[in-house]
Amino acid sequence: MNRLPTTASLSSKHTARGAIPQPAPRPASPPVRAGFTLVEMLVAVALVILMMTLFASIFQLATGAMSTQRGLAENDQRSRLVLNSLRYDLSHRTMQYVLPFAANEDVSQPEARLALRRGYLYIREGDPDDTADDLLQFTIDVKSDDRIYGVWGKPLSASGQLGDLLMVDANGKFGDTTNNPYWLNQPEFDDGTNDIDHATSSTLAEVSYFLRNGGLYRRVLLIRQPSTSTATGSGQPMGTQGPLKTELFENNGYNGAFENFWSCSDFSAFFDLTNQSLKFHGAASLDNGVGGSQSVLANPKFRFGHRVLDGAPREVSSNGYYIGRFTHQETSSFDPTDRSKGFGYPGRSTVGSRDPFNPSTQATYNVNTGVIEEYKYGWRVAEDLLMTNVHRFDIKVWDPAASMGPDGAPGRAGIDDDGNKVFDFVSPNAQTTATSATSATRSGSAR
């Protein structure tokens, strides 16, 4: 009896029925590798870009906010600087009692209050609808609080390097036997030192504020105070020295060239038409009383920015643009070869050089640069620039005599605001004359 083949016999190569083909061995499977598909990569890249964009936007916002805050802080600081400068100057103005002098006013009377009406205060309103054509100019006295410093020296090069500028006496000498080697009544030594340091100082000055081409300017001109104890208040060199010789500013430039007064100094000065000479302003120029200087600054023709012939101000260019006052750059402009060019006043004789304060003298304003074309080559650029990017400089004046007081009458009650020797109404039905007022009330009118 035949038996069925076992499992072992079935797996053999041969059976009773013959050979059975063996299946070919399966190849080994390749190792499995982990990775991303193209779609996954695109999605990942898009997410990364989105996150980077978000981070960049946040960083940009943060840095922008910081820049804005920094700009605001800088603007606030510059604004405070301007306000502090204005407050300081106005608080030290010599014309404390702001009351214009009347025609034929008797300034010898106590009511004139000359101690509070020294120097001048000048305000230009211009076009009431224009907030950029106002001008403020006045004299200040900082007394013992501080000193105002300026330049005194001749340019040695076009870049403004300064050299010695020492004045000689009538004999052409720099010194005398008692004050060797230099006599002390000259601007170089007004800062209280006997060193030649090309600097000078004073506690008195003319100050001008004006806006031009987006820049707020503060022009300061010192009123001379000689340091020597034997000097007078006129500001002029004493005795035989006489007025300042204009030759110092005609042939004393670098390389023997011509130059001008305000390229060398920061003093308030004028050209004396009578004596044909340059003169300083001194402390006596602030005295508006009887017996004061004949060249007081209360007379406009002796001020900076005004024509010496008649006192007319030069505030508009030849092509009709408001310029305020001439800047340091313009007043320091000179031509080294031609004395008829450049800013001649006040350090040159009017013969052969132009007077820029004369409206007939050509002064062309460049609207792009904000500089007068005829005087654009001065080396003292932006020395008087107080603040940039200023859009308006609008002066508002509160006049108590023209404003209604708390009593319903013009001005302050019990005060003679308009100087007519009649105190303003205390009530609508009563008034008090200055002659019958008490001294306590009179003392309360100071301002």
**Is 250:235 a contact under the CB 8 Å cutoff?**
no
Q: Which are the contacts of 67, defined by CB distance < 8 A and separation ≥ 6?
A: none
Same domain, 146 and 252: yes
> Any idea what DSSP says for residue 386?
E
Q: Which helix (H) or strand (E) holds 31?
A: none
14 domain residue, yes or no: no
Same domain, 87 and 206: no
Mean model confidence pLDDT for the chain: 78
Same domain, 279 and 404: no
Torsion angle of the four alpha carbons 426, 430, 433, 436, in this order, in degrees rounded to the nearest 10: -90
What was the pLDDT predicted at 296? 92
6 domain residue, yes or no: no
The model's pTM: 0.74
pLDDT digits (tens, 9 = 90+) for 299-318: 999 999 999 989 999 999 99
69 domain residue, yes or no: yes
pLDDT digits (tens, 9 = 90+) for 159-200: 667 777 777 655 565 555 555 567 778 888 898 887 888 899
Phi, psi of 375 (to 5 degrees): -130, 35
Cα–Cα distance for residue pair 349/351, rounded to 1 Å: 5
Out of 38-42, 283-287, 353-357, pick the least confident.
353-357
**Is 353:343 a contact under the CB 8 Å cutoff?**
no
pLDDT digits (tens, 9 = 90+) for 76-92: 888 888 999 999 999 99
Domain span holding position 174:
94-397
Q: Which three-class secondary structure state does DSSP give residue 48?
A: helix
* Structural domains counted in the chain: 3
